[in-house]
Structure 1
Amino acid sequence: MAHHVGNGGAEEEDCFEDAYDRIPAACKMDLHTAIQETQCALNLVLNNKFSEALDLLKPWSRDSMYHALGYSTILVMQATMTFEHRDIQAAMSTIKDALQTCQRFRKRNSVVGSLTSLISKQSNLQEEEMHAEICYAECLLQKATLTFVQDENMISFIKGGLKIRTSYQIYKECQNSLNAAQDVQSDAFKQFEGGVKLGIGSFNLMLSLLPQRILRLLEFIGFSGNRGFGLSQLREGASSQSLRSVLCALTLLFYNTYVSLILGTGEGNLLEAESLLEPYQQKYPKGSIILFYSARISALRGNFEKARAMYEECISSQQEWKQIHHLCYWELMWTHSYQQEWQQAYLYADLLCKESRWSKAIYVYQKAAILSMMTEEEVKTTGEDIMELFRQVEGLKQRLAGKSIPTEKFAVRKSRRYKAASPIPLVIPALEMMYVWNGFTIVGKRADSTEALLVTIETAEEQLRNDPSPSEFHPDDSCLVQMLKGLCLKHLGRLLQAELCFTQVLSSESRIRYDHYLIPFTLYELGLLHKQQGDFAKATTYIENAKTNYKDYSMESRLHFRIHAALSSLKGSPVGTP
């Protein structure tokens, strides 16, 4: 007997003798250790040690589901930061490997089978099978997220619908088994619970954002999302002490600081974002991901100076993931633009053109648009040729998964004006782009910056009004100027004047020749204005009009997301409930 024990010890020693070299696969990785190592890897990521994190997970990524999942999670984070085709492909292939690894641990021949009976038995093997279900579902969810990131047009999202469905069903089953086994308190069970909350929460949140017409396409496979429920699940997950609590927190942060602005009506919950971030700021004061979100929250609060200092700190905090630098350049470009510091904004736009491969067309257009806001003298010092830049845009358009990016299409369409032998320059193009990215909601927090923008807009309005020989673009340009003017007035609380600007745009509808997007977007803005004044009926009428009577205009899907968010908030019901 004693001999047997000694033997066991020897085996273990053999196993770790070359640990620094490569741990042989014969040493089976147990669930508890796997979760701990994956937690270590996540901590490394939050401390800017990205390659160390990947090195820790890689050796076991084919033999342990948590190592596989952790490895793909980091690559998915990287891909969602860059939106770069190469990174998306790399993440996709790791997810496929991870799915295979998880598959090996799953309960045979069932999607989920009777997980409930697994839990009641609670043996090690069954514990492993429970976790295999949740890891498998999480990989499918990551796959869906990447598909989502890749393509704002949703076609591929629908094609991936069945994969998503499997994932959703697994999560629902897992949730049922959680409810059935409330008394179990083991660590593995807590980890399992964290996984369910992350999945069910993200699902409900993601689905609640989708406009009705897209949901209808998904409806046949039984989807609906409840935003309130999704958020509460993610909040519970974020406050739990599990491996996935940081992922729940990051999902909520991304939702509150980006998604709700670009695809919603711009009302992210900043108080929640700050309280979610607080413990991580204590724990990872130099962590670039944490610094980035802190900076973003300051910017959304209208504190541009503080935000800039923090973005700069974020840039100097690490050199390994350049993508984070590019995100900071993009944000810095905007915070300078909000204050019309065009020369500084230009420097960041120029850096993006040179360094980032996300979308050359958008960067070059953005750079040209910023230069268009400067005086001739200022442009001279940069040595740039605005006309030449606008002419380059069309050739830079890329196709991702066979679809072009809506914002790129928009930039290409606007640049065509410079193709003519004697082009008519765009009016305030940088402010138009600011609107496209929903920047007016952010500037609106600062009366001084909004007033200053209004001055610029009124100068443009004056020039158009006094144009001795109006071009074919004149009506479109005037409508753009009126719409942006209305937005500034709204944020300054001058609501009647704002309404006049918006109605002026609508009355010019028949004269618009190119920028047809201005009408549905103005209807939407007028709707929000009436909502602000408490006239929900009028608000709904305008927004429904934008939704039903217009199609095939620039950035249509983006407006439909915003319309969906606005109508949901007008109904006052939790989003996504039938």
Structure 2
Amino acid sequence: MASGDDLATVFSSDESTVLSQDDVEMAVSGINMLLNNGFDEAQALFCKYKDDSPLMNAGYSFVHFMQALMSFEEEKLAEALKILQTTEKTCETGDGFIRAFKKRFSKKKQQVGSELSVEDRIQRQVIVADCLLYQAVLVFTNQDIASYIKGGWYLRRAWKLYEKLHSEVIQLQEKKTCEKINQLSLNLSKPDSNDSVPNQTQKPSKESTSKLPQEPAMDNNDNELTQEVISRLLGSVNFGYGTFQLCMSMVPPKILKLIEFLGFEADRDAGIAALVYCSHSSDMKAPLAVLGLLWYHTVLRPFFALDGANRFSVGISDAEDIIQQKEESFPSSSLFLFFRGRIHRLKKENDASLVIYHKALDESCGQREIELMCLYEIAWCNLLKLNWDKCLEAFTRLNKESKWSKAYYSYLVAVCLGSMGEVEKAHEMLKQVPSLVKRKNNQIEAFVNRRAEKFKKVTPTQEHCRLLALELLFLWHALPTCTAEELQPMLKVCDMQTDHKLLHLKCLVEGGIFKELGEEEMAVNCLKETLARHQGMKDDYHVPAFAMFELASIYMKSPETTAEAKRLLHEVKENFHDFDFENRLNVRVNNALKHLKSNSKQTSKQSVKQ
């Protein structure tokens, strides 16, 4: 938890003393409390002073945003959206049509002194852009077309602000740099001690005064913008600027067209560079930039195959470097422990990952959202090891304590029960799933609903439930985090399948497992069999789409088969629609095509040189 001395300083100080404290320092303290397991204390601090400073108001809304993002619960998502909209309105600096109309025809003239300083104006506009960005992220959690369009509108508005502010702050920084260069030039041009010394009683001439250093850069209200302030503002802008670029990496290209982002391609490298700059700045969002980078390297890069279909663990070293740099600042932070656990998973060290997640769970005691995040990862680590009883324990607790998607967690509980042989209990649970679905346009709930509907009148077998568990591991892109020792038992589960109606799914999972074992010939045979067995079927259209992607990812490795890989990727992109998890697969397909295009350009350049 946060230090008791820190809290005593904040809450026992005289009110006027606290309010006169630099709000930047106070906001940074609040964020550090948040990340050092002092979630409640940080929330109390931001809540107390949210009406006294735009930065504290921004911190208050961010705490709610973070709670909503970690929990995925509808009530918290709705509450966070409302609070972010309030902060956005509070910090708006531009004159809308109505405000401009009233201002123009009002008899009362605005006092010049009431104008915002450049620093305050830029800070407020950054907060507005951040609020729009956070709203987009929350809306995107629904993962449906309507949400992508709405979220895209928020992103577009945010991007226009970030682009404008980034350019403005860069210009301020360049101006300050020029002033320093001029100052240095003047200093170097002064005569040294060996030169003649002018009469100190003599008044300076007009010529000599014109060579004196100019005053520091001022804003419209004669407030000096120091280099420190400009650097902090740039860090503040760069957080949203960089996060925006990474968000764009997750948006399917078809959705980009729908929200009129046609022609826009996110510069991922620029986004990473912006977040790195922010992480080393004095802005309150510096620690958040660190978390953003860790999330990118350990979650987004592998899940969406952002570095190509076959470079799953490429972000490990980057994440480890960040953790090492920030270890002293956040020694027992449950969030940093969470990312340590992710790193171990990517390194196929699931036993070590479980130890770290249990430690994070202990450290996060009382912070419900972080507890549920850790519990979820513990459940998945046990699922990778086919520890059905431990999976059941964790998913049962999540089903009871989490308000997010009872349908999803009930489905997971049912699959675990069935995998343990308790098929009657599994059947009863599966029959409840359709009634628990709240949002049929949500990809996950739509998927578990379709799966559960098949068991209305038919009791599942133990073998079938275990295959459904492996399907989840495949679709959640978790197989690459398994060792050969963990993958072998999964093949035995596939061998147990005898129902001819499930052979297409069995072959898909087998193909994914053989691919991770390095037995690519067997993988190709299984994936081709998947396509053959699915022909004529009227459901499970996600199976052939994912099979084609897996085939393409294997063919991409050899120059002789890259043309076939490209053909398969385009077939998935152009001919498969309205299947389960279409959006997440389209992101992977798009990144794979970009990777092929990049490799083709490099090959062409090398050929020209030779």
Task: Give the TM-score of the pair, scaled to structure 2.
Answer: 0.79
Query: Structure 1 residue 483: deviation in Å?
Result: 1.0
Q: Among 346, 363, 367, which residue is 1:300 paired with? A: 346
Per-residue CA deviation, residues 318-362 of structure 1 (Å, 9 max, x unaligned), is: 322212111112111111111111111111111112211111111
Paired residues for 1:251-330 under 5 Å: 251-264=292-305, 265=309, 266-267=312-313, 269-330=315-376
Cα gap change, 1:267/1:227 in structure 2, threshold over 3 Å: closer, same or farther?
Answer: farther
Other structure's SS at 2:513 match: helix
Other structure's SS at 1:182 match: helix
Query: Structure 1 residue 417: deviation in Å?
Result: 2.1
2:316–2:343 Cα contact (<8 Å) kept = yes
Paired residues for 1:384-423 under 5 Å: 385-399=425-439, 404-420=441-457
Q: What is the aligned partner in structure 2 of residue 369 from structure 1?
A: 415
- In structure 2, C-alpha distance between the alignment counterparts of 1:500 and 1:487, rounded to whole Å: 11
Q: What is the aligned partner in structure 2 of residue 352 from structure 1?
A: 398
Whether 2:266 is the aligned partner of 1:229: answer: no
Whether 2:110 is the aligned partner of 1:85: answer: no
Cα gap change, 1:504/1:361 in structure 2, threshold over 3 Å: closer, same or farther?
Answer: same
Per-residue CA deviation, residues 355-382 of structure 1 (Å, 9 max, x unaligned), is: 11111111111111122222x3xx49xx
**Which residue identity is paired with 2:567?**
T
Q: Among 80, 83, 103, which residue is 1:94 paired with? A: 83
**Which residue identity is paired with 2:125?**
E
Greater shift, 79-88 or 199-208, is seen at 199-208
2:32–2:287 Cα contact (<8 Å) kept = no
- In structure 2, C-alpha distance between the alignment counterparts of 1:109 and 1:424, rounded to whole Å: 62
Greater shift, 185-194 or 389-398, is seen at 185-194
- In structure 1, C-alpha distance between the alignment counterparts of 2:231 and 2:263, rounded to whole Å: 29
Query: Structure 1 residue 95: deviation in Å?
Result: 0.9
Q: What is the aligned partner in structure 2 of residue 208 from structure 1?
A: 249
Per-residue CA deviation, residues 146-169 of structure 1 (Å, 9 max, x unaligned), is: 1112x2014233234444323211
**Which residue identity is paired with 1:353?**
N
1:391–1:419 Cα contact (<8 Å) kept = yes
- In structure 2, C-alpha distance between the alignment counterparts of 1:288 and 1:126, rounded to whole Å: 38
Other structure's SS at 1:572 match: helix
Q: What is the aligned partner in structure 2 of residue 434 from structure 1?
A: 473
- In structure 1, C-alpha distance between the alignment counterparts of 2:528 and 2:262, rounded to whole Å: 42
Query: Structure 1 residue 572: deviation in Å?
Result: 2.1
Cα gap change, 1:366/1:128 in structure 2, threshold over 3 Å: closer, same or farther?
Answer: same
2:417–2:425 Cα contact (<8 Å) kept = no
- In structure 2, C-alpha distance between the alignment counterparts of 1:385 and 1:187, rounded to whole Å: 63
Q: What is the aligned partner in structure 2 of residue 467 from structure 1?
A: none
Q: What is the aligned partner in structure 2 of residue 120 from structure 1?
A: none
Query: Structure 1 residue 22: deviation in Å?
Result: 8.8
- In structure 1, C-alpha distance between the alignment counterparts of 2:128 and 2:275, rounded to whole Å: 19
- In structure 1, C-alpha distance between the alignment counterparts of 2:77 and 2:359, rounded to whole Å: 27
- In structure 2, C-alpha distance between the alignment counterparts of 1:62 and 1:335, rounded to whole Å: 44
**Which residue identity is paired with 1:564?**
N
Q: What is the aligned partner in structure 2 of residue 42 from structure 1?
A: 31
**Which residue identity is paired with 1:551?**
H
Other structure's SS at 1:538 match: helix
Query: Structure 1 residue 573: deviation in Å?
Result: 7.7
Other structure's SS at 1:541 match: helix
1:209–1:565 Cα contact (<8 Å) kept = no
Once superposed, which parts of structure 1, at least 4 consecutive aligned residues long, lie more than 6 Å away? none
**Which residue identity is paired with 2:64?**
L
Paired residues for 1:15-30 under 5 Å: 20=12, 23=15
1:210–1:564 Cα contact (<8 Å) kept = no
Whether 2:208 is the aligned partner of 1:169: answer: no
Whether 2:140 is the aligned partner of 1:148: answer: yes
Per-residue CA deviation, residues 202-222 of structure 1 (Å, 9 max, x unaligned), is: 112211332221111223587
2:552–2:564 Cα contact (<8 Å) kept = yes
Runs of at least 5 residues in structure 1 that lack an aligned partner in the other structure: 1-17, 111-122, 465-469
Other structure's SS at 2:173 match: coil
1:361–1:394 Cα contact (<8 Å) kept = yes
- In structure 1, C-alpha distance between the alignment counterparts of 2:245 and 2:459, rounded to whole Å: 52
Cα gap change, 1:222/1:178 in structure 2, threshold over 3 Å: closer, same or farther?
Answer: farther
1:64–1:101 Cα contact (<8 Å) kept = no
**Which residue identity is paired with 2:562?**
F
Task: Give the TM-score of the pair, scaled to structure 1.
Answer: 0.84
Query: Structure 1 residue 80: deviation in Å?
Result: 0.5
1:61–1:98 Cα contact (<8 Å) kept = no
Greater shift, 67-76 or 261-270, is seen at 261-270
Q: What is the aligned partner in structure 1 of residue 189 from structure 2?
A: none
Q: Among 128, 135, 143, which residue is 1:136 paired with? A: 128
Cα gap change, 1:391/1:299 in structure 2, threshold over 3 Å: closer, same or farther?
Answer: same
Whether 2:231 is the aligned partner of 1:190: answer: yes
Greater shift, 271-280 or 220-229, is seen at 220-229
What value does the CA root-mean-square deviation take over the aligned residues? 2.6
- In structure 2, C-alpha distance between the alignment counterparts of 1:19 and 1:544, rounded to whole Å: 60
Q: What is the aligned partner in structure 1 of residue 563 from structure 2?
A: 537
Per-residue CA deviation, residues 86-106 of structure 1 (Å, 9 max, x unaligned), is: 111121121122112212xx3
1:486–1:502 Cα contact (<8 Å) kept = yes
- In structure 2, C-alpha distance between the alignment counterparts of 1:247 and 1:71, rounded to whole Å: 14
Cα gap change, 1:241/1:62 in structure 2, threshold over 3 Å: closer, same or farther?
Answer: closer
**Which residue identity is paired with 1:515?**
D
- In structure 2, C-alpha distance between the alignment counterparts of 1:405 and 1:479, rounded to whole Å: 25
- In structure 1, C-alpha distance between the alignment counterparts of 2:22 and 2:434, rounded to whole Å: 53
- In structure 2, C-alpha distance between the alignment counterparts of 1:28 and 1:20, rounded to whole Å: 9
Whether 2:560 is the aligned partner of 1:520: answer: no
1:490–1:498 Cα contact (<8 Å) kept = yes
- In structure 1, C-alpha distance between the alignment counterparts of 2:249 and 2:473, rounded to whole Å: 26
- In structure 1, C-alpha distance between the alignment counterparts of 2:63 and 2:548, rounded to whole Å: 41
Greater shift, 75-84 or 508-517, is seen at 508-517
Other structure's SS at 1:566 match: helix
Query: Structure 1 residue 519: deviation in Å?
Result: 0.7
1:205–1:225 Cα contact (<8 Å) kept = yes
Aligned residues: 516
- In structure 1, C-alpha distance between the alignment counterparts of 2:18 and 2:37, rounded to whole Å: 29
**Which residue identity is paired with 1:273?**
A
Query: Structure 1 residue 430: deviation in Å?
Result: 0.7
Q: What is the aligned partner in structure 2 of residue 14 from structure 1?
A: none
Whether 2:572 is the aligned partner of 1:546: answer: yes
**Which residue identity is paired with 1:439?**
A
Runs of at least 5 residues in structure 2 that lack an aligned partner in the other structure: 1-9, 98-114, 177-225, 601-610
Q: What is the aligned partner in structure 2 of residue 486 from structure 1?
A: 511
Cα gap change, 1:313/1:533 in structure 2, threshold over 3 Å: closer, same or farther?
Answer: same
- In structure 2, C-alpha distance between the alignment counterparts of 1:371 and 1:285, rounded to whole Å: 38
Other structure's SS at 2:404 match: coil
The percentage of counterpart residues that share the same residue type is 26
2:253–2:587 Cα contact (<8 Å) kept = no
Cα gap change, 1:179/1:21 in structure 2, threshold over 3 Å: closer, same or farther?
Answer: closer
Other structure's SS at 2:327 match: helix
Query: Structure 1 residue 524: deviation in Å?
Result: 0.7
Q: What is the aligned partner in structure 1 of residue 485 from structure 2?
A: 448
Q: Rg: which structure is higher?
A: 2
